[in-house]
Amino acid sequence: MPTTSEPAASESERASETTAETASETTAETTVTVRCTGHVRTELGKYEFGYTFEGDTLREFLDELFEEYPELQEMLIAESEEEATHGGWAPTPEELPGTWTKNPVGEQTIAYARILVNGHFNENEKGFDTEIEDGDRVALVYPFMFCC
């Protein structure tokens, strides 16, 4: 019977290999089409572009995008409840109807700005934890508004 001179892998080596394999699976790259309107389009100077990032959630996409374009974070993300809320003609209910909930502070867009995944407002999905797949469309919307 032939024998090998290679030592058997230790338990810790096998665990390290499994952890490395799991980590590489969870940090897969995702490529999306980004579409920009209004102020976002003016800031970036382009309407549409492909963007590849590590991960598969809107949060991971935004983290990388804002690292590359920090001005977009200030333009789109509210840092307080006041920045996220706009005044309107209808009274705001004390409690939201049904199962509606607001995204937590820091995960809300400023008033009138929106982030959509495949045409759906992120706050109507899973907020920044909305899952994104290759080929999805992410829209960064901050319309021009003129008055008087």
> Residue 31 phi/psi, 5° resolution?
-115, 125
Report how far residue 52's alpha carbon sits from residue 27's, in angstroms, rounded to the nearest whole number: 12
pLDDT at 11 over 80: no
Higher pLDDT, 96 or 33: 33
Average pLDDT over residues 96-123: 83
Q: Does domain 29-85+100-142 have CATH number 3.30.70.150?
A: no
How many angstroms separate the CA atoms of 116 and 148, rounded? 29
Tell me the per-residue pLDDT of 75-100, one tens digit each, with 9 for 90 and over.
Answer: 999 888 888 866 666 777 777 777 76
Confidence (pLDDT) at 144: 79
One-letter amino acid at 99 equals: T
Cβ-contact 73, 43 below 8 angstroms: no
Q: What is the structure's pLDDT at 110? A: 86
pTM tops 0.75: no
Q: How far apart are CA 48 and CA 127, in angstroms?
A: 22
Ranges of each domain in the chain: 29-85+100-142
Position 88 scores a pLDDT of 65
Of 121, 113, 108, nearest to 81 by C-alpha is: 108
